[in-house]
């Protein structure tokens, strides 16, 4: 497998479409249904090479999530 990509989106359909596209390109794909789930994944294991986050999510939006991850 190639680089590891963490995809964060509250839409199951969007997650599956993006996952299929990225895996066909040789990427290893991790999925998170919320920014909270993604934050746990990032802090508990090897960091992904890239994080792709939906901008408009309930509770914590993608921009706030990325700033929080970057600051940690």
Let me know the angle formed at the C-alpha of 21 by 53 and 48, rounded to the nearest 5 degrees. Answer: 45
What pTM was estimated for this model as a whole? 0.85
Residue 15 has pLDDT above 70, yes or no: yes
Residues 32-57 have pLDDT tens digits of 998 889 989 988 878 899 999 888 77
> Is the confidence at residue 23, as pLDDT, over 90?
yes
The pair of three-digit structure tokens given for residue 40, joined into one six-digit string: 């746990």
pLDDT confidence of residue 1: 58
Per DSSP, which regions of the chain are E strands?
4-8, 28-32, 50-53
Q: Quick one: tokens of 53?
A: 């986050």
């Amino acid at each position: 497998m190639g680089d590891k990509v963490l995809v964060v989106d509250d839409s199951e359909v969007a997650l599956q479409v993006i996952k299929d596209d990225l895996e066909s390109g040789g990427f290893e794909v991790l999925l998170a249904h919320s920014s909270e789930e993604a934050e746990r994944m990032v802090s508990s294991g090897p960091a992904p090479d890239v994080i792709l986050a939906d901008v408009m999510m309930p509770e914590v939006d993608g921009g706030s999530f990325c700033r929080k991850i970057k600051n940690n």
